Structure 1
């Protein structure tokens, strides 16, 4: 086995910080030991972490082809908020819920929703931190909020958005879901809970394989070869889905890290893998959601 490079070790340290201990002092101490100085450590962290400044790099929020809006209300008896995006052509289309990472409904996820809309869907990106006051600007705080979120309520709100979308004018009557990291895990849970017609999970931790009999929707699962943490649950989940003859397409992208689709993380984004996964995702969603 190839010895991990300093960059690989840095990515793993950041992954442990963002998904496990969330202790920034520990992260900085470990990165400093790796990089040799606090200044170099901060530079490493900045390159790996998502950058809000790069969040709208692919689709302009003011793109004249799109209607976009942030809408608030109440779903499942709690405050709700979601970003909506769709083409102005008023054609019949399927709906795709876009589920955020553990940092909440960031500008990057709104950008992803616009990409989904340009691909020919109504995109709805719920802020699943809305019951706690909504996604904060402080990403560390958002991660803490995710850790204490009412997961059953989040599922209920997502299912409510899906149910309403089916009845909208111009809807094909079908709803899919795509999620990233924490949102990727959420896609798997929605496939078990019901209420969707197709799901795409990007590097999302998977449920217990014993639950596979309850999967109610076809799935597409994207994994990163270097993402050992997610592979621990992802590999058994894929094997169980295939053994149970559940409709699943699973892809592992070689030599890439967790969050390889996130173009706001300079150190982890891999354009070739992201483009390949995106093309597969959009084709899969059209196959299952078009009227």
Structure 2
């Protein structure tokens, strides 16, 4: 197990996962965690360890001189009307020209609590890998990410899921149409965002070159025949529900001739990539999954599409 997997009992980590998915309420989470308090490990210490620490998880500072980032708002007529997001490009001498290099775009989709600092940091990581990244906030219509994951989860639960998907469709099409995009985009995301990356592959068809969903539910079977993207699937091997669903997901992709690759990362739970939640984070497999994602997007979104 990774060095970041500390002394918090695995059932307590599972309780946190159920809590952030809305399967149990805050009171049930706190009461459940208290069962695992032992000498030297209080319930409050367990809760503190499980909560996100965004300073700990920051890899790329917001003011890093190698990137240029801004918040932009774009129309989403079939969604909630508008969606705001965080746009990041690498900065170089070329960036100063009137016609900057056309880069592949990556849509980075947050978990079910809005565009928090971790997701923004992932977007900056993509910029340092020479992609243009756009991280939309599906909470835009209710004021955006509120600065608190618990409140963010409550706001998220209040929104129409189909309209959130249409917001993300609008974001993807806007990114692809930008003059500084090479006309090829990819999508990635985490939990809700992973499910949405899978969903977008079915909705966008040939407009999406690649997807790399992290611990997200599968594309609806009716939409799988529409997929033209190359799909890279990341699950933690200890994420029992999604691992149980994976064989059916894989069979459906194979049946329709979708190019895909799947990884069930060992010793990894749901959320293993999120270094802002160190009790779930697995440094070893997170680095491997990231490296594979960058290679996958370089192969399928940076290169010209194959001849028909």
Same fold (TM over 0.5): yes
Q: Report the counterpart of residue 66 of structure 1 in structure 2.
A: 67
- SS of 1:82's equivalent? strand
CA distance in 1, matches of 2:222, 2:140: 32
CA distance in 1, matches of 2:283, 2:61: 19
CA distance in 2, matches of 1:95, 1:112: 14
Q: Residue 233 of structure 1: CA displacement?
A: 2.7
Aligned residues of 2:234 and 2:263 also touching (Cα < 8 A): yes
Aligned residues of 1:177 and 1:199 also touching (Cα < 8 A): yes
- SS of 2:42's equivalent? helix
Q: Residue 178 of structure 1: CA displacement?
A: 0.7
Q: Residue 6 of structure 1: CA displacement?
A: 6.6
Q: Report the counterpart of residue 14 of structure 1 in structure 2.
A: 16
Q: Residue 73 of structure 1: CA displacement?
A: 4.2
Structure 1 window deviating more from structure 2 (276-285 vs 15-24): it is 15-24
How many equivalent residue pairs? 286
CA distance in 2, matches of 1:121, 1:211: 27
| Aligned-pair Cα RMSD in Å | 2.1
Q: Report the counterpart of residue 43 of structure 1 in structure 2.
A: 45
Aligned residues of 2:215 and 2:236 also touching (Cα < 8 A): yes
Q: Report the counterpart of residue 157 of structure 1 in structure 2.
A: 167
Q: Residue 41 of structure 1: CA displacement?
A: 1.7
Q: Normalized against structure 1, the TM-score is what?
A: 0.91
Within 5 A, what are the aligned runs for 1:1-291? Answer: 7-36=9-38, 40-55=42-57, 57-76=58-77, 78-89=81-92, 90-194=100-204, 195-209=207-221, 211-290=223-302, 291=304
Q: Residue 289 of structure 1: CA displacement?
A: 1.3
CA distance in 1, matches of 2:246, 2:150: 26
- SS of 1:20's equivalent? coil
Q: Residue 240 of structure 1: CA displacement?
A: 1.8
- Structure 1 unaligned blocks of 5 or more: none
CA distance in 1, matches of 2:129, 2:145: 26
Q: Residue 100 of structure 1: CA displacement?
A: 0.3
Q: Residue 125 of structure 1: CA displacement?
A: 0.3
CA distance in 1, matches of 2:29, 2:262: 32
- SS of 2:184's equivalent? strand
CA, structure 1 residues 17+167, in 2 after alignment: closer, same or farther (shift >3 Å)?
A: closer
Q: Residue 35 of structure 1: CA displacement?
A: 1.8
Q: Normalized against structure 2, the TM-score is what?
A: 0.86
- SS of 1:34's equivalent? coil
